[in-house]
Structure 1
């Protein structure tokens, strides 16, 4: 099976791994994940809450039942995982990291994905709050919130769709999954408050904060057209909302400007060097403009 072949690949590269079948929306399943890691490896020092699923449909169309089910995965799954990881680190008195995967739509709401956006807003708020509480008590735990932009994963194929056309990141800038993995790995080794994957995510957060009405109009204008493909939508039952998604694929079926990596992530890893380069480029441009004016 997939888990066996993936485990062999890791072992051939000098690593070890174990897989656990679980529904993160069930607290007992998340406890089983932690217990298996402790039994197999003696403990853990990094916990990543990455599981997520979306619903594409307007707020008045999506059923309350589907909304609650999505919150079980996107919000409660991360809450269960965060609490277990913090308890593990504190009980052993050793440093550890918790990395929660948020979204650009957790910084700024959007049309058609209101349920998904609200679940990420909830996760962002929970992450910020527990971070402050742990800092106040000087707990040996770093809490990082990763803010991905639009990422080329099967997110669109696994989503529950109320649309006529299949959900997709469409006609927009799209980043590879490796960019998110790079941010996660860096946060695991270097405590960071936030990691934005792509300038797209940072721009949406900043504009949403300082120009909210402008962003309202911009999203109303663009997001109805860029969140679905041209092919008919699959049925709501054929999604990962209530059961595992298909294929275990790394990439989705999204169409757009595919980026090879995220330069914003790389700049976030080396902020001083990035600032120095920006200052140098700015000085060079200023010198060039000044010289031209003198001529």
Structure 2
């Protein structure tokens, strides 16, 4: 897909962060937007910003973990716009907890959004993308879909799952010659609200040596590497060239290189760094 002008794009998690930035960049490129988010205030603001750019836009409050709701939204998008060319399965949440002690209800909450939301969005929109004759699926994984980190076992599991699912989907569609491209996105630290809204299990703090306030503060500082609008431009450039994978930010490039160069040996480096950080954090 070389040109977004006149194309119809559906974006989940559009109320803030990368999702909002994608909606605005697509609007500037002449696309028609169908946006969704579970947070009505942020969704409404994104809708106002998109419409101020002169782009047609429909906003829908949506929980991507609700399969029936996502299927209905996809059909509504097709009915309202006549077709759908792109879906950006971007909605995501964060959870910090140890692999041993993570509460199952928290794990299920995260997987419902981060993984099942991607599956629901892909399956709901794929028939419409095929029918358009020029479609594209964009699924947002993470740099944590390439490397794992202590306290991020649940998040890692969801993002590795998105990567595996998306790569398999791309190969299946290529095998059948379908008119649908597929791109898996791996953002590094992007300045969004995901760290502020993350669930943090207090039992994990013994691994970091920090209290919850300090942990959230440091986490938010670490994700300030790339601005959301720069991330959106990078993602859309990848869609234009039908890239299999898009790395967003210099930290994503470095971690991808580390994983490919060191293989599982990267884990020892991460553990040593985490121990140093824990020692420095303790009085």
TM range (shorter): 0.7 to 0.9
Deviation at 1:93, TM superposition (A): 5.3
Alignment of 1:214-229 (within 5 A): 214-223=265-274
Distance 1:18 1:145 in 2: 25
1:28 equivalenced with 2:79 (yes/no): no
Q: Find the counterpart in structure 1 of residue 146 from structure 2.
A: 107
8 Å CA contact 1:110, 1:223 repeated in 2: no
Q: Find the counterpart in structure 1 of residue 194 from structure 2.
A: 155
Distance 2:274 2:127 in 1: 40
Compared CA separation, residues 218 and 48, structure 1 to 2 (3 A): same
Query: Which of 259, 268, 272 is the equivalent residue of 1:208?
Result: 259
What 5-or-longer segments of structure 2 have no aligned partner?
Answer: 1-40, 203-210
8 Å CA contact 1:52, 1:73 repeated in 2: yes
Distance 1:160 1:184 in 2: 27
8 Å CA contact 1:171, 1:226 repeated in 2: no
Deviation at 1:158, TM superposition (A): 1.2
SS in 2 for 1:19: strand
TM-score relative to the length of structure 2: 0.74
Q: Find the counterpart in structure 2 of residue 86 from structure 1.
A: 126
Distance 2:275 2:140 in 1: 24
Deviations 1:94-129 (A, max 9, x none): 110100111111011111111001111111000011
Larger radius of gyration: 1
Q: Find the counterpart in structure 2 of residue 190 from structure 1.
A: 241
User: After the TM superposition, which parts of structure 1 deviate over 6 Å for at least 4 consecutive aligned residues?
Assistant: 224-227
Deviation at 1:226, TM superposition (A): 7.2
1:13 equivalenced with 2:60 (yes/no): no
Distance 2:117 2:142 in 1: 15
SS in 1 for 2:168: helix
Deviation at 1:3, TM superposition (A): 4.4
Which range is displaced more, 183-192 or 136-145? 183-192
Higher helix share: 2
Deviation at 1:225, TM superposition (A): 7.5
Query: Which of 149, 166, 171 is the equivalent residue of 1:132?
Result: 171
What 5-or-longer segments of structure 1 have no aligned partner?
Answer: 231-295
TM-score relative to the length of structure 1: 0.71
8 Å CA contact 1:112, 1:224 repeated in 2: no
The aligned length equals: 227
> Once superposed, what is the RMSD of the aligned Cα atoms?
2.2
Deviations 1:59-112 (A, max 9, x none): 11211221122111111110111122222122x251101001111110111111
